[in-house]
Amino acid sequence: MIGKPQFIQRALACTMLLFTTLATPAFGQNKYPDRPVKIIVGFPPGGPTDIVARLIANRLEKALGQSFIVENKPGGGSNIGSQEAARAKPDGYTLFLGTVANATNISTYKKLNYDTQRDFIPISQLVSSPSILVANNDQPFKTLPELIAYAKANPGKLAYATSGPGGSPHLAGEMLKLRAGIDLLHVPYKGAAPAMNDVIGGQVGIGFKTASGVTTTLQAGKLRPIAVAGRERMPQLPDVPTLIELGFPDFEVSSWSGLMAPTGTPPDIINLLAKTTIEIMKSPDIRKQLEGIGAFPVGSTPEEFKKYIDDEIKKWAVVAKAANIEL
């Protein structure tokens, strides 16, 4: 038979245990992640964005001890995947690989069912891959000043190919038109591959191509590199100047990607993912793999990534308005 003092002690212990259990947040009860995590990608399998997603998913899986599964939701310039990720439960088990499209689409689409700044919390920028202004080998110019002179002498005759209206290659072409004061003809394609093929074949004269998709083609001599739209020259193309060097300040066009989570995701989860991702992106073998496809590791903090996204949205809004781009 339990004595009165013992009964009181046990009752108090049970009460404290119940109080502690109720007061402990869900994140504290189970170590995150305790089940598979999904990373939504708004582009098809096999492309540069998908490659980066699977690379980081594999490393997060090793670091955190749970499966990170890439789920491709292509369509609408990544808007389908973006919308699904924005509406996901903010519990850390659905993440999103945001890209430059999430900065440009805000200004180019009439209506979106999500808002990048409102509906997502930036975790960490993973990579940056600068665009390269390339030309068909038979074009009568080899440098940017020669290209500009040719375009001014032949207004509207020099065409540039893009992967479709409203994307970063289109906006890059419009930025060049505005900054250089030239008239170029926009020729949109249904994807980067057919656009590049027609520049190689000479059907179209020039185009802005993402380094991760065109570096090997340039090294094989199938296209002529004119200038890099990045902050610095690429190690793979050390003789190709940047547009900034050539007199166009802040002319930076990058195909970037980074991890995001739906707004409302607990800060502890955001911080854990950010810290882990930053460490992953410091790895020498990650850098080597990415540089092999013309991309560069970043590994920024949530605050740094947020500022970068905000700046990208402002920059492309100016270009889209000036060029009257509306989808």
CA distances from 324 to 111, 176, 309 (A): 15, 15, 22
Q: Which residue is it, tokens 């065109």?
A: 214
Instruction: Report residue 126: phi and psi, to 5°.
Output: -90, -55
Global pTM value: 0.84
Give the burial string for 190-223 (b: 16+ CB within 10 Å, else e).
eebeebbbbbbeeebbbbbbbbbbbbebbeeebb
108: Cα within 13 Å, side-chain hemisphere: 25
Q: From first to last of the 327 residues of the chain, give the pLDDT tens digit.
A: 445 445 445 544 444 444 444 344 444 446 999 999 999 999 999 888 999 999 999 999 999 999 999 999 998 889 999 999 999 999 999 999 999 999 999 999 988 999 999 999 999 999 999 999 999 999 999 999 999 999 999 999 999 999 888 888 999 999 999 999 999 999 999 888 899 999 999 999 999 999 888 888 898 999 999 999 998 999 889 999 999 999 999 899 999 999 999 999 999 999 999 999 999 999 999 998 888 778 899 999 999 999 999 999 999 999 999 888 887
